[in-house]
Amino acid sequence: MTIRQPTHTPYDGSSKLFTIGLKPLEIERWIEVDEFLLPHLAEKQRLYADIPEKVFVEEADTRDAQSEVLALLSPHLIAKHPRSHCGTGSDVEVIGLATATDRLPPTLRNAPLARASLLVQEDLILMRRDERGWRLAAGSLCFPSSWSLQEKFGKPLQEIHAPVPGFGPGTRPAELINRMFDGLQGQTVERFNWSIQAGDALYHPLSNIQRIDRATNRPTRFADGDINAHAFMRVERQTLRKLPVSSDILFTIRIHLDPLKVLDAHPDRATLAASFVEQLLALDQQQLDYKGLTADRDRLVAFLNGIAGSA
């Protein structure tokens, strides 16, 4: 059986944790489509049906900007992903599925951002500028990485990032991020973030700090201790693109999940595992707690050292 290798490996040292790391992105690579498109969209549809208030928010005056998102996505998907998407103009569909509108609960069928979200695997967040900075004005977040859309709705970036070590209000990184958002014009940029989670759940809203190991009283991901069976690498590919009419910024988040153990079959497993270990060991206590890795780091390091040693 062929083992699927990770699409992105930012833990190779190219995207270090707790750094901004924005890089230019060719527009041709803006949206990613892979073999998980249909199951990911099915999971989004399930979440919309079960907990719509937790996965979609919008300010009342964002519908025009939401329509901009749909208008940008539609021709891009038709042109760049003709095997999975078809249509003309802004009328685009996923091949083999009902229209996005038909797959939404009635209360969201007129929300263009919700419709757009059922065309792609990415989550879609609209950021809007006011006197406080860039705030979360609307969003479809079906696959959160340990944060709550309802909790962050309406807040500016510095408050959204307040729990992140070194990125809270008044810090240099917080100021830099706001300046980068202000300076974003026609270009599209991307960055990567990554973490390790227990299990392969895409919907992952619970804060790491809420996962406490009873023995250490520290955040944990692997209460049962079975790294080989349950550890998954969660990679977030994030992009930023300013909308041409509203000047709002579209923030996309694409989640990639791979079992940690697949690294053992990677042709560069020794290099990847060694870099992974180096970055885990470089995290300080506050960063480990934020990532939920304090109680598990030593076990993860030992597991990865075993992969590196088998090369």
pLDDT value at position 12?
93
Q: What is the pLDDT of residues 167-206, one digit of tens each?
A: 989 999 999 999 999 999 989 999 999 999 999 999 999 8
pLDDT value at position 1?
45
Query: Percent of the chain at pLDDT above 90?
Result: 85
Model confidence at 75, pLDDT cuts 50, 70, 90, reads: very high
pLDDT value at position 208?
53
Q: Quick check: 220 pLDDT over 60?
A: no
pTM of the model: 0.93
* Length of the chain as a residue count: 311
Helix, strand, or coil here: 266?
coil
The top-scoring range by mean pLDDT among 71-85, 221-235, 287-301 is 71-85
Model confidence at 310, pLDDT cuts 50, 70, 90, reads: confident
The top-scoring range by mean pLDDT among 80-94, 245-259, 293-307 is 245-259
Interior CA angle at 124 toward 120 and 128, to 5°? 155
Q: What is the pLDDT of residues 79-100, one digit of tens each?
A: 999 999 999 877 899 999 999 9
